Structure 1
Amino acid sequence: MARKIIKKRGKKVGAAPGTLVHIGEKSSMGANIRVIDYDQEHLTDTRIHAPDMCGSYRDSHSVSWINIDGVHQTEVIENLGKSFGLHPLVMEDILNTDQRPKVESYEDYLYIVIKMLLYDEVRHETRTEQVSLILGRHFVLSFQEFSGDVFEGVRERLRSGRRIRFMGTDYLAYALLDAIVDHYFILLEKFGDQVEILEEELIADPTPATLAKIHHFKREMLLLRKAVWPLREVLSSLTREENPQISAETRLFLRDVYDHTIHVIDTVETLRDLLAGMLDIYLSSISNRMNEIMKVLTIMATIFIPLTFIAGVYGMNFEHMPELAWPWAYPAVLLLMLGVAGGLLVFFRRKNWL
């Protein structure tokens, strides 16, 4: 079954602004909270079961990365929001997993929405997951719909004590954005391989299954474009607008992520154009195949029309037909019919119709 491009919002209709209602796919797992607290010399990685325990990291002197897997539990989001002073509209957007990538600036934090894309090797399709980032002075909150992400490289860099440990929360937020965007390239490489295989199949022997694959990948490219295209505006805003939460040095790194995003968008558009061309090739191939079939049938019908006329003439039961009394009339008529058919075949060959 094809995935829905637009998620249902029936529960939100008529609700007051700031009403906390989850929109999206619900998980059977409970919310999982993981806190990585670090500075230049120390790092702790802990699991927290009670959201109220996270409030102590709000004003700590170290950098705290609090990751929440599972935004379907509204009470967890509400408790965390109260602990960190989040606006009700921000908590509402976190629960609404159909948000467009965007960035919003508040008094003491930034709210960033981005789409994390994962590739399903079996079904050859993407799994789109919304990631919400809250960038504060001493903390970064990341909200994910499900467990499993592309941030393991960032965690490894934190554990190994590299440069990221000497930077602030803005650099941590940059690292998370960079990890998501870099994973887009892996996704596009896999789609590119599948499109190349599909192109070879289209040239060799197109079938109705080939058409279904073309439509499948066109839909995937549409979902990719929807997820990636608005990200250009987000990163452009982060790199150009002055914001106290982001240092000038980090803006240079964000500019690199912006360049990667432009590259991703160009690749997506190239694949979309290639798939559109493949659809035209498929339709042309089917049309040419139908034309060849109709040409063969037309030639056969053209050959048999005069033969049918001759057989019809001598099939009339008139009494006075002199040819009926000839001893060699039957073979003569057969030779005449054979000559007419052969003559037509020679004519078609000279016209290059055969």
Structure 2
Amino acid sequence: MTNTEPAFLWAYDISKTGQINAISEAELHAPIAESSYRWVHLQSDEPDTEQVLSALALPSSVADSLMTLKTRPRVIPLKEGALIFLRGINVNQGADADDMVSLRLWLTPNLIVTARRHNRRVMSVQDTRAMLESGEAPAGTAELLIALLTRLADRIHDKLEEIDEQLGQYEIADSLNKQDRQQLAMLRRQTANIRRHLAPQRDALDTLIRLPNLIHDTLLFELRDQADRMTRYVEDLDLARERSIVLQDELRNQIADQQGIRMYLLSMITAIFLPLSFLTGVFGMNVAGLPGTETPDAFNTLMMSMGGIAVVMLIAMLWKRWL
């Protein structure tokens, strides 16, 4: 049986002067004061999500987009505002970081709605809420959006720093064991999965910059800075992928070299024992007329001869620098 929770998580009315007023779900019908804006955070896949969105009087196309199951980073400008779909690092307990969490936003000059999936908390939203409750309230919805983008980028930066540190440890290691090789392969998959979401997110932020009705000119610099950060992170992921490929290639070369050395050594040993095997095969034939069958010292002579042949061949190989 699937556990359900209320779709409504929290909402705040925030004045231009920074005063914060938490409101309940029943108060979502109330109009927003001219000197304030409203932030509503909810879960997009609960049974009562549509009821909460209808209380906000959102256009049906916007409500359907906020409740969609699968999203990719993009920005959809509409007459009333803009739909924004973003991805963040998944730091929920027991989750894979590359299984990035989705954050859906509806942005207008006086309303910002953020939505996440059930049990997939976006910690950047929690950080922004903590900032809000500490008294650092953004002046408007655009400023709140930039605060969310900044914290999303900070989480991504922390993950990329972790990836860079792990790759650095592998690069300076004298040798890698089987567990290290598996970890390196997993790291490469993580890098590819994260980049798959960040590349369109970079493009989405570029689109957002070109929405002058929502983002004031005074905020464009900060928004461009976040877009530039996303571009750098995509480039860092490309570099991390190349580094992991080089490490895996070097690891394959090391394994191939080790196998080649072992096969070469076995070949040299086989070459030394080849004439000895021939002699033992000849003198092991059970036929009449073999020399030395009636001589008591024949065995010792044969063994000394075989030892001498082995020594001569070993010296010849050393002289030829085959060993």
TM-score by length of 1: 0.81
Which residue is equivalent to 1:215? 185
Structure 1 residues 205, 242: CA separation in 2 closer, same or farther (over 3 Å shift)?
closer
Deviates more, 1:289-298 or 1:302-311: 289-298
Give, in whole Å, the separation in 1 of the partners of 2:33 and 2:81. 13
Alpha-carbon contact 2:101-2:122 (below 8 Å) kept? no
Give, in whole Å, the separation in 1 of the partners of 2:94 and 2:307. 59
Which residue is equivalent to 2:206? 236
Q: Which runs of 5+ in 1 are unaligned?
A: 1-25
Which residue is equivalent to 1:18? none
Identity across aligned pairs (percent)?
20
One-letter amino acid of the structure 2 residue matched with residue 45 of structure 1: A
Deviates more, 1:152-161 or 1:293-302: 152-161
Give, in whole Å, the separation in 1 of the partners of 2:127 and 2:4. 27
Alpha-carbon contact 1:63-1:138 (below 8 Å) kept? yes
Q: Does residue 268 of the first structure (1) align with residue 237 of the second (2)?
A: yes
The alignment partner of 1:111 has SS state of strand
Give the C-alpha shift of residue 59 in structure 1.
6.0
Residue pairs, 1:133-172, within 5 angstroms: 133-145=105-117, 146-147=120-121, 149-162=123-136, 164-165=137-138, 167-172=139-144
The alignment partner of 2:30 has SS state of helix
One-letter amino acid of the structure 1 residue matched with residue 54 of structure 2: K
Which residue is equivalent to 2:163? 191
The alignment partner of 2:231 has SS state of helix
Which residue is equivalent to 1:106? 78
Give, in whole Å, the separation in 2 of the partners of 1:27 and 1:283. 47
* RMSD across aligned positions (CA): 2.5
One-letter amino acid of the structure 1 residue matched with residue 305 of structure 2: L
Equivalent position to 2:149, from 166, 174, 177: 177
Give, in whole Å, the separation in 1 of the partners of 2:287 and 2:90. 83
Structure 1 residues 35, 123: CA separation in 2 closer, same or farther (over 3 Å shift)?
closer
The alignment partner of 2:113 has SS state of strand
Which residue is equivalent to 1:206? 177
Give, in whole Å, the separation in 2 of the partners of 1:122 and 1:30. 23
Give, in whole Å, the separation in 2 of the partners of 1:345 and 1:281. 33
Give, in whole Å, the separation in 2 of the partners of 1:319 and 1:149. 91
Alpha-carbon contact 1:111-1:132 (below 8 Å) kept? yes
Alpha-carbon contact 1:81-1:87 (below 8 Å) kept? no
Structure 1 residues 100, 147: CA separation in 2 closer, same or farther (over 3 Å shift)?
closer
Equivalent position to 1:224, from 182, 191, 194: 194
The alignment partner of 2:98 has SS state of strand
Q: Does residue 34 of the first structure (1) align with residue 4 of the second (2)?
A: no
Structure 1 residues 87, 74: CA separation in 2 closer, same or farther (over 3 Å shift)?
farther
Alpha-carbon contact 2:7-2:52 (below 8 Å) kept? no
Alpha-carbon contact 2:101-2:121 (below 8 Å) kept? no
Q: Does residue 43 of the first structure (1) align with residue 43 of the second (2)?
A: no
The alignment partner of 1:37 has SS state of strand
Equivalent position to 2:304, from 335, 341, 346: 335
One-letter amino acid of the structure 2 residue matched with residue 317 of structure 1: N
Q: Does residue 75 of the first structure (1) align with residue 11 of the second (2)?
A: no
Give, in whole Å, the separation in 1 of the partners of 2:288 and 2:318. 41
The alignment partner of 2:100 has SS state of strand
One-letter amino acid of the structure 2 residue matched with residue 235 of structure 1: L
